[in-house]
Amino acid sequence: MQLLLILLVIVGGMGLSVEAGILGPLGEQVGHLWATFSIFGVGAALTFLLMLFFSPRNSPSFFEQPSWQLLGGILGTGYVVILTMTTPVIGIAMTMIGILAGQVSKSLIIDHFGLLGTPHRKIDRKRLIALLFIVAALLLIAKS
C-alpha cells in the first residue's frame, strides 16, 4: 500500500511540472493573477462535481473546523502565483527543484516538532543528507 501511495505522489509531482509548463506561458499572455484564477476556478468546479458524486453525505461541517486549517487556500494561491511568475524566467526544472527544496526543508521542521497535528519524526542524519542532495541538485541545475 505504501508503495502505491509513493507512486501516486510521484505522479502528482509530475502533474505539477506540467501545470508549471502550462501556467507560465498563460500567465505571460493573460497576466499572472488571471492565470492563477483560472487554475483555481477550473479546480473548484471539478472539485465541486467530485464532491457531488463521491463525498460522504454525513461528514462534519466544513465551518465547524478550526479556521487555521483554511490557510491552505491562501498558501496554495501563493504557490500558484509564484509558479506562474517564476517558471517562464528560470524554467520548469529550476522552479520544481526550488519548490522541492522548500517543501522538504519545511517538512523536516514540521515533522521534527510535530507541528500542525502531525506525529513527531525526528530529523536524523538520513533526512539531512536527503535535503543536502536536493540542495545540490538545485545548485547543479542553476549552474547549467
Taking only Cα atoms into account, the Rg of the chain, rounded to an integer number of angstroms, comes to 18
pLDDT digits (tens, 9 = 90+) for 29-64: 999 999 999 999 999 999 999 999 998 878 788 788
Locate the domains of the chain by residue range.
Answer: 2-56+72-143
Q: What is the pLDDT of residue 61?
A: 80
The whole-angstrom separation of Cα 141 and Cα 144 is: 5
pLDDT digits (tens, 9 = 90+) for 89-111: 999 999 999 999 999 999 999 99
Q: What is the pLDDT of residue 126?
A: 96
Q: What is the pLDDT of residue 66?
A: 86
What pTM was estimated for this model as a whole? 0.82
> Considering the chain, what is the average pLDDT of its residues?
92
pLDDT digits (tens, 9 = 90+) for 19-29: 999 999 999 99
The whole-angstrom separation of Cα 96 and Cα 102 is: 10
Cβ–Cβ under 8 Å, residues 110 and 118? yes
Query: Three cell numbers at 106?
Result: 519545511
Query: Three cell numbers at 141?
Result: 541545475
Q: State yes or no: pLDDT of 74 exceeds 80.
A: yes
Helix, strand, coil shares of the chain, percent, nearest 5, are 85, 0, 15
Q: Which residues of 53-91 are buried (b: 16+ CB within 10 A; e: fewer)?
A: eeeeeeeeeeeeeeeeeeeeeeeeeebbbbbbbbbbeeb
Query: Three cell numbers at 39?
Result: 487554475
